[in-house]
Amino acid sequence: MSSPLFIKICGLRTAEDVDAAVEAGADAIGFVFADSPRHVDAATAGKLAQRVPEHVLTVGVFRRQPVAQVRDLALASGVRSVQLHGDEGRDYYDTLRPQGWTLIRATSSDGGRTPRCGELGEDYLLLDAPDPGAGLPWNWADDRFTPPTGHWLLAGGLTPQNVGRAVRTIAPWGVDVSSGVEARRGVKDPALIREFIESARSAE
């Protein structure tokens, strides 16, 4: 039997949104520490993370930030996972690994060569559009795209309307969404969070 779909809701900034994601059955929630309209500081993320039960993974999201800054922000906020959107190399992952965080490597896919999960020492691979958090899909439905095996998440332009098709078509291990559950850029809509999770689960 295959494992249940892993669902991550990213870019949360308020207690209401965190509670909506947790109550609707999210497996992970993301706090963006990168330059973004969804940016939160470590103190805010730390307070929000305290609302999250143990079984839900709290993820700090970074892009092209020095490894010392990643370590400091992750430690200060208490997240249990680090998601890296830059072109960090294996040494970067090796530096973070001893902290015990679940390491997520986010990279874009052009529908051609598929990156392999674990290639750089990451725990999970996230295949995203080239501009993360922009709500734009990529051509994951292209015949040339061979989904990776293992713990990999599909991201990029997912919505409550298209996530079911994505899950049925390429059977990712997990899905990740940000823009598709927002009322406007950077502002989440709890009703859309619930709708996304319901649609994804009903496609499993």
Ramachandran quadrant class, 157 (left: phi over 0; alpha: psi -120 to 50; beta: rest): left
Query: Pattern of binders to ligand LARABZUK over 82-121, x per CB under 6 A?
Result: ---x------------------------------------
| 148 phi/psi in degrees, rounded to 5 | -70, 170
Pick from 60, 148, 174, 180 the residue near ligand LARABZUK by CB under 6 A: 180
Rounded to a whole number of angstroms, the distance between the first and last alpha carbons of the chain is 12
Query: Smallest distance from the beta carbon of 199 to ligand LARABZUK, in angstroms?
Result: 14
Round to whole Å and give the CA distance between 104 and 130. 16
DSSP 36: S
Query: Smallest distance from the beta carbon of 1 to ligand LARABZUK, in angstroms?
Result: 28
Q: Which positions lie near ligand LARABZUK, rule CB under 6 A?
A: 10-11, 30, 32, 34, 36, 38, 61, 63, 85, 128-129, 132-135, 155-158, 176-180
